[in-house]
Amino acid sequence: MLPQWIIEKKRDGNALTEEEIRFLIEGYTKEEIPDYQMAAFAMAVYFKGMTFEEMAILTDAMMRSGDLVDTSSIKLPKADKHSTGGIGDKVSLVLAPLIACCGIAVPMVSGRGLGITGGTLDKLESIPGYRTDLSEREFVDTIDKCGCSITGQTGQLAPADKKLYALRDVTGTVPSIPLIVASIMSKKMAEGIDSLVLDVKWGKGAFMQTMEDARELAHNMVEVGVCMGKNMTALLTGMNQPLGRTAGNALEVIESIEALKGNGPADLMQVTLELCGHMLLLSKKASDIKEAKGILLSHIESGEALERFKQMVGLQGGDPASIDDISKLPRAATQEPVSSSESGYIAAVDAEKIGRACILLGAGRKRTEDAVDFAVGVSDILKIGDKVQRGDKLLTVHANDPASCSEAVAMTREAFAFSEAPVESPELINEIVTPKGS
Ligand code: URA
């Protein structure tokens, strides 16, 4: 078998066999197949797509390209959540400790910021000392002690995806549903979980711009997960305005701490409780979503969820005192209010523009090798439907240098659109995708 024969077969729109897909992924992982052939293959998939069976085999081959996390010593049910990412999406920080309180272990391998969307690891690293490079032993020990751990992908977890993702990033082949399915699911399936809930976001601040694309991605990921023996549910959620009232690493940690204390903004709490609720249902810890939400709220009200978060932070080398005293978290030199030039109701908050402003401030990376500034970002973001008078504050820009501050002020002001008539806040949770026939 030669790689070029497989590339030609896909280029001509034919389905590949299991042997052919495994040959490509194994060869690429062992560096026997060069980047240029893999790039041609990715482009052929981009144009010709893949059958569902091919997608499932590709996911399995990429998952088996490296180590599988051995979570067999953990006797609790194991569940995780994956979000396709958005602006202000800090759900994982609230969800992992909250789920741990319910007797479900959460082995969460997370990522860094991608494009304009923030990354869970960058947010957590704004807590002084927090480590995201745990060994497998440290990862499993942390889960044993506090029920959850959030760490980064090691070189041994789905290495084929690590290589292929970097290649797709520079060859125009990222937005391909089969390649996204295999990329996300190969990493999640290597975590040793029983159940997975997906938050597939759509809209201006998300990877998938339309609900139709998000639905197709969600259906395929759910079915691939089921084929691999996992309990699966996906939610389609809107990302046409930022989630919560902050975007930026330490600012989002502060908002997550507030959420764990029961003071989170309504939209963040709605998405978090819905995702957590479905994790409880899949893990058979509740019989309906109402009961699940009651259980979850009781763990917030008792203070246990916040306590678990503090425990996880401490076990991963972070300073738990900074959770009680947020003045120990990074703070930017300047806080600049952005005021409204109009009176009326907020009709739109362009999540993409807010995300771009955060990148300008340094909250995300312009190049992969860049360091992020944990302190900068935006807070107090008003939401669609809020009523404002001319001169009212729309948000606060947190900056560490004057040039990026004034650029971010202009850009974030442009993110808002107004209406004279009252505006309904948009539906946040659009659909729940379950396996076919369930
Ligand atoms: N996130 C991933 O991990 N992979 C993709 O292909 C897209 C988003």
The domain ranges of the chain are: 3-49, 79-154+190-324, 331-419
Kindly state which CATH superfamily the domain 331-419 is placed in.
Answer: Pyrimidine nucleoside phosphorylase-like, C-terminal domain (3.90.1170.30)
Which residue's CA lies nearest to atom 3 of ligand 1?
Answer: 184
Q: What is the pLDDT of residue 117?
A: 74
- Closest Cα partner for 55 from 181, 142, 207? 181
248 Rama class: left (phi>0) / alpha (psi -120 to 50) / beta:
left
Q: How far is CA 410 from CA 345, 349, 373, in A?
A: 20, 14, 20
pLDDT string in tens for the chain (438-residue length): 999 999 999 999 999 999 999 999 999 999 999 999 999 999 999 999 999 999 999 999 999 999 999 999 999 999 999 999 889 999 999 999 999 999 999 999 988 776 677 789 999 999 999 999 999 999 999 999 999 999 998 778 999 998 998 899 788 888 899 999 999 999 999 999 999 999 999 998 887 889 999 999 999 999 999 999 999 999 999 998 999 999 999 999 999 999 999 999 999 999 999 999 999 999 999 999 999 999 999 999 999 999 999 999 999 999 999 999 999 999 999 999 999 999 999 999 999 999 999 999 999 877 667 789 999 999 999 999 999 999 999 999 999 999 999 999 999 999 999 999 999 999 999 999 999 977
Residue at 361: amino acid letter: L
- In sequence order, what are the residues at sequence separation of 6 or more whose Cβ sits closer than 8 angstroms to the Cβ of residue 144? 73, 74
pLDDT tens track for 403-424: 999 999 999 999 999 999 999 9
Structure tokens at 280: 């409880």
Domains 3-49 and 79-154+190-324 share a fold: no
Q: Whose CA is nearest to atom 1 of ligand 1?
A: 184
Number of CB atoms found within 10 A of residue 367's CB = 5
Place of tokens 């896909």: 10
Alpha carbon of 123 to ligand 1 centroid (Å): 18
**What is the C-alpha to C-alpha distance for residues 61 and 49, in angstroms, rounded to an integer?**
17
Write out the H or E segment, with its range, that includes residue 347.
strand 344-349
Q: How far is the CA of 157 from the centre of ligand 1 (A)?
A: 14
Task: Give the ligand 1 atom nearest the CA of 111.
Answer: 3
Q: Return the active site residues.
A: 82, 161, 168, 183, 187
> Cα(60) to centroid of ligand 1, in Å?
16
Distance 180 CA to ligand 1 centre (A): 5
- Per the CB < 8 A criterion, the answer to whether 267 and 428 are in contact is yes
Q: In CATH, which of 3.40.50.300, 3.40.1030.10, 3.10.20.880, 3.30.70.980 is domain 79-154+190-324? A: 3.40.1030.10
The confidence score (pLDDT) of residue 408 equals 98
The reported pTM is 0.94
Nearest-atom index, ligand 1, CA of 187: 3
The CATH H-level superfamily of 3-49 is Transferase, Pyrimidine Nucleoside Phosphorylase; Chain C (1.20.970.10)
What is the rounded end-to-end Cα distance, in angstroms, of the chain?
40
Token digits of residue 222: 């759910």
Nearest atom in ligand 1 to 180's CA: 6
User: Any alpha helices (H) in 101-233, and if so which ranges?
Assistant: 120-124, 136-146, 159-169, 177-189, 211-227
Q: Where are the alpha helices (DSSP H) in 12-135?
A: 18-29, 35-48, 52-63, 91-100, 120-124
Contact 226, 194 (CB under 8 A): no
Residue list, ligand 1 pocket, CB within 6 Å: 165, 179-180, 183-184
